[in-house]
Amino acid sequence: MSDEIKLTLDGTTDADIESELTLEPKEVEAQVKLSAAEQKQVDEFAKTIDLTNSSVILQYGVGAQKKISNFSEKTLNSVRTKDLGEVGGLLSQVVTELKSFEDEDEKGLKGFLKRSTNKVTAMKAKYDKAEKNVDDIARVLEGHQITLMKDISMLDQMYDLNEKYFKELSMYILAGNKKLEDVRNRELPALMASATEGSLEAQKANDLQNMANRFEKKIHDLELTRMVSLQMAPQIRMVQASNTVMAEKIQSTVVNTIPIWKNQMVLALGVHHSEQAAEAQKKVADLTNQLLKKNAETLRQSTVNVARESERGIVDVDTIRYTNEQLISALDEVRKIQIEGHENREKAKRELEALEADLKHRLLPQNN
């Protein structure tokens, strides 16, 4: 881009603003400083201004004003706020998905092992889904970062153009004021001095006075346009600074936050595996201890029973006592039966003898 400024009176503009954009930003000076060549151009241009030509006054500085107008429009389009809602939505979705890893509760070692397997599977599935969402976020953020960096470069170029247009307007204003001063201090007094009442010189002096007033208003309009350009400089830098901060935050998120988050996810999965292994070991140890205690109790009871039975005689004393009592009882009953039998036999014998004696008596002849 050429830094040379050329003043014209035809109101035309230079080439389109986009053709003047470059990738080489420059620092803008606080005040307009003209080079010797530019000051010479202002002085020579002031001499060419013809205030008797209404078209010259109408078109004076219009080209520079159009440049500022077009420049303002392009600035507005270039710094329009980008929609980052998609990134926020994805981040919220990932945060929601990663908040909890719930699992069902089952009792016992079997339930624990089943729960652990399901939990690991579910956690891996959620991690894979979250990783995909995070990668999508990274791609979106990188796209926004590229756009912001382009905007920053464009704003640098616009800042340079604004400086150029500000200087161009200032040169038009300086040349106009110089011409206006010359007309009011030299040309107008000369016409008024040579004019007589009713002469054409008097009308010329009056027309020149009116043209000078119109030209003064035109210069005032240029000063207002220059004020817009002056205000635009800090606005561009403010927008550029905001874009720079946003681009830096996005870069930090892409190169720092997301990789750290992924590392933390991997570590969390590893820690979870370790915790599961430790919990499984604890469950197995608890079960082993329970089995050992139960087996020890069973062994103790069995040993006591065996010892008790080993110390027991073949026949218990109670059994011998019971057997002896039954034997004595049996002997007593047998003796009682024998006695009763003997008594019954003696009784029967006596009865038989009596019957025999009676029979014999009846068989003997009777003596009459």
pLDDT tens figures, 281-320:
888 888 888 888 888 888 888 888 887 777 766 777 788 8
Rg of the chain taking only CA atoms, in angstroms? 63
Name which of 68-72, 142-146, 280-284 the model is least confident about. 68-72
Distances (CA, A) of 62 to 7, 23, 58, 188, 362: 11, 28, 8, 26, 193
In this structure, of 11-15, 61-65, 150-154, the range with the lowest mean pLDDT score is 11-15
Q: What integer pLDDT is reported at residue 89 of this predicted model?
A: 57
What Å distances lie between residue 272 and 99, 101, 102, 113, 268, CA to CA?
15, 11, 13, 14, 6
Name the band, by pLDDT with cuts 50, 70 and 90, for residue 336: very high
**What mean pLDDT is reported for the chain?**
76
SS3 25: coil
